[in-house]
Amino acid sequence: MKSEKVLSVVIPVYNEAKTICEILDEVARRPETAEIIVVDDASKDNSRGIIQEYADRSEGKVRLFCQEMNKGKGAAIRRGFDEARSPIVIIQDADKEYSPEDYPVMIAPIVSGKADVVYGSRFHEGAGKVLYFRHTMGNKLLTFVSNVLTDIKLTDMETCYKAFKREVIQNLNLDSDRFGIEVELTAKFAHARNLRIYEVPISYHGRTYDEGKKITWKDGVAAIWHMIKYNRLQGKSKFYRKPWKEVLG
């Protein structure tokens, strides 16, 4: 597989008028990007109008889908997955915390035929913006609990940057509406034991709450509940649409 024009980039948006054009420019410039799927989750600012104007100028590269009610980040991501048409799908936040310059390292294991799913870790050693201490510890705690329940070893389960083969992500039955989508994805990948999961280091430029960061401690508590739900309570037969041998060959 070649690395150019292979990506469907899914961008969930809620009140990101200040940054959305800049991130769309960055994503559109990447040679890996074939299409950009923006899902506006009933923004209260003028994000939707800004994105529509951008899409009208993009000659079909940017496609906008609108949720008529605010349903949450997970719901927006699920809509984007369903609309994807390119061989590889990646999630991109609209707030500039994650850089599209990391696309090559994110998709390299898939392009080379070594992986079906790739996680971009913010916690591999290297230069990066200093983060909130409690957020970092909270993320590491959630990742630890997830690793215990899934029996796979990740350093950053809650990362936004996850890339997948399109047939892999479209074979999952997903139902999380908010930030529980990260837990749900990890649980369902892990329990499909024949999927090859890689983790690679990425850069990260975390926002402060004054800059618009939305996640709170309540989402951390909800994540624990989702871990129990998807790893212990929900029947695994409901996780997938088709047997993996039919999907992966």
Number of neighbours of residue 49 by Cβ within 10 angstroms: 12
CA atoms within 13 A on the CB side of 105: 14
Q: Is 2 part of a structural domain of the chain?
A: no
Is residue 157 assigned to a domain?
yes
Q: Is 55 within the bounds of a domain?
A: yes
Start-end of H helices in the chain: 20-29, 47-57, 73-83, 103-111, 133-150, 166-169, 181-191, 217-228, 244-248
pLDDT at 249: 76
Query: Tell me, what CATH number does 94's domain have?
Result: 3.90.550.10
Domain of residue 104 covers 7-248
pLDDT in tens, the chain (249 residues): 778 999 999 999 999 999 999 999 999 999 999 999 999 999 999 999 999 999 999 999 999 999 999 999 999 999 999 999 999 999 999 988 899 999 999 999 999 999 999 999 988 665 455 566 677 788 889 999 999 999 999 999 999 999 999 999 999 999 999 889 999 999 999 999 889 999 999 998 865 545 445 566 677 788 899 999 999 887 777 899 999 989 997
Please state, in angstroms and rounded to a whole number, the distance separating the CA atoms of residues 195 and 171: 12
Is residue 1 included in any domain, yes or no?
no
Predicted TM-score of the model (pTM): 0.91
pLDDT at res. 152: 95
Instruction: Count how many domains the chain has.
Output: 1
Instruction: Say if 169 falls within a structural domain.
Output: yes
